[in-house]
Amino acid sequence: MKKIFLVALSIWSASVSGQGIPRDKMDPATTEVWDLKPKKITPGAQPGEAPSDAIILFDGKDLSAWSSAKGGDARWEVKDGAMTIVKGTGDIKTKQAFGDFQLHIEWRAPEKVEGEGQGRGNSGIFLQERYELQVLDSYESATYSNGQAGSIYKQSIPLVNACRKPGEWQAYDVIFTAPRFSENGRVITPAYVTVLHNGVVIQNNTQIIGPSEFKGMPVYQPHGKASIKLQDHGNPVSYRNVWLREL
């Protein structure tokens, strides 16, 4: 709808500018759009509550929207409204695939601190199964800056460290624009992401330069819609209140 309006506006602008009509003589109704209306939804009553058009990916009851990343059932523990990584059960991913989206997800590092750096409360949220938004207990723990909580792993350092104490619930709100590829596989536009951590902007329309890699530089490979994947990194990190809106 926005594109339609901008096209109409540009045509109108070219027309009136060509006629040399002074701005104070222009009819304001000419630039008013009435016949294209945004869809009406009901927002969540509380911060973090899913709006009416959201896809509920985890409501605290079961893992019906998820499967093992390797196939079969997801085997993480569901208890007290949260799903918690069971070491060795592997990554899980949504059964549904997505392109552009808004994602809300809450996570909690273990209250009992064990390890340091990348070994402390480590997990990850892989957007389209490829682009990792790091989950880590970075409250008072040193690691490489492009690998701390809120980083686009090994790519983009968060603007600030907004971590809460271990054992406390935290929230990521993510706006993701998927990459576009030409028919021959070339990147037309890369992926972009904006992330709010506990309500604070930590990634501001950040360009993702390719899939997250532990070693070496990333290189885009063409792909379509894909799942949200959560990582089993061996630490009992928990997740709750996971919902997504397709954009």
Do residues 98 and 11 share a domain?
no
Q: What pLDDT, in 10s, does the model give residues 128-154? A: 999 999 999 999 989 999 999 999 999
Do residues 117 and 214 share a domain?
yes
Do residues 56 and 177 share a domain?
yes
Whole-number pLDDT of residue 13: 56
Distance between CA atoms of residues 239 and 100, nearest Å = 22
Q: Where in the sequence is the domain holding 199, given as residue range(s)?
A: 41-246
Q: Which of 227, 244, 234 is nearest to 130 (CA)?
A: 227
Whole-number pLDDT of residue 226: 98
- The encoded tokens of residue 82 equal 């949260």
Whole-number pLDDT of residue 90: 97
**What residue ranges of the chain have pLDDT lower than 50?**
5, 7, 11-12, 16, 18
What total number of domains does the chain contain? 2
Do residues 66 and 117 share a domain?
yes
Do residues 51 and 27 share a domain?
no
Do residues 156 and 104 share a domain?
yes
Q: Is the pTM value of this prediction over 0.85?
A: yes
Do residues 34 and 57 share a domain?
no
Across the chain, the runs of DSSP E, i.e. the strands, are 55-58, 66-68, 77-79, 82-84, 92-94, 101-108, 123-127, 131-135, 170-177, 180-181, 187-189, 191-197, 200-208, 229-230, 238-246
Whole-number pLDDT of residue 27: 92
3-state secondary structure of 7: helix
Whole-number pLDDT of residue 88: 96
Coarse DSSP helix, strand, coil percentages of the chain, rounded to the nearest 5 percent: 15, 30, 55
Do residues 2 and 62 share a domain?
no
